[in-house]
Structure 1
Amino acid sequence: MTTTPLTPAQLQPRLGQFTVIDVRSPGEYASGHIPGAHNIPLDQLQRALPALRAAADRGELALVCASGARSATACDQLAAAGIPAATLIGGTTAWAQDGNPLERPATGRATWAMDRQVRMAAGSLVIAGMLADLALPGARWFSAAVGAGLVYSAVTNTCAMGNLLGKLPYNRPRTAPADLDNTLAALHQ
């Protein structure tokens, strides 16, 4: 089973024909998402497979994230489970840049995209390791370990740091727009 790539220009006129699944963290989702999108964070995708299969039986699925990387990973996981899905190339960033609206709950607040958070955290850890090496020789190996983790992340197309950052309080909405159980129940209908 293959993943179908979609551009914002291809998705926009067919938006009502797709069940849109946003695989970003709840905090990212709350800061702005494609109208009508359901939030199923990437780390909860396996739990959501039965509901996603039911939704795919009724119509096409379109998966989105901030840039398209996580939604492509999610599409690969769904393809492995025999569930066809499309991924939005460029994610919500490309969607908004094309002039399409983003839905934001009244309680939504701006949260950095996960890739930006990872770059900030990794860069900060590398600088901290290099500065610590001035007082504690050998601490630079901490920076090397962070670099090795980033290389592993790129090679495997996974991100442990992103998964950890997604669990921090600022990546969770103050009031959930809809909890995962309600989302899964809605997809089963």
Structure 2
Amino acid sequence: MSKEETAIFAGGCFWCMVKPFDTMPGIKKVISGYTGGHTVNPTYEQVASHTTGHTEAVEIVFDPDVISYEQLVEIYWQQTDPTDAMGQFQDRGDSYRPVIFVKNEQQKKVAEASKKRLEDSGKFDKPIVTKIEPAKPFYPAEDYHQDFYKKNPLRYQIEEAGGRDKFIKDHWSK
């Protein structure tokens, strides 16, 4: 019987955060949703109003015997601009801020060590501002937001073209 753990990451629009994880071995599911706010079970419209305190995020259910939390954090960094605290690419505001939401002390240690390595690498000219915060309740988004890249490939490509794809190629390609 395989193990299950969860990780929660925010990096702009949750639509763009699903595919990079969804295609990795050991990933059981990736759920788009909302976390970090004060409204119970918010709707997309409520979160988009910037009044609930929530951030769009993905909850990743994974088998730690196949893919580690540390590997997930490394994949996460490579989907974001860790120097932009007020959103990601064309998605602006608190609901799009980059955050690693940690569920326990081990995740916190891994995330902090990874962030420190990135800071020390000199890869970016600006400070690394991605937050590491304790996980709060995660609320799955409406069904039409789930697996968006599969259901709406054309709209997903337009979303990626908003600067994310170019930034990733320019900064994270090996």
TM-score range, shorter chain: under 0.3
Q: Larger helix proportion, structure 1 or 2?
A: 1
TM-score (norm 1): 0.25
Q: TM-score, normalised by structure 2?
A: 0.26
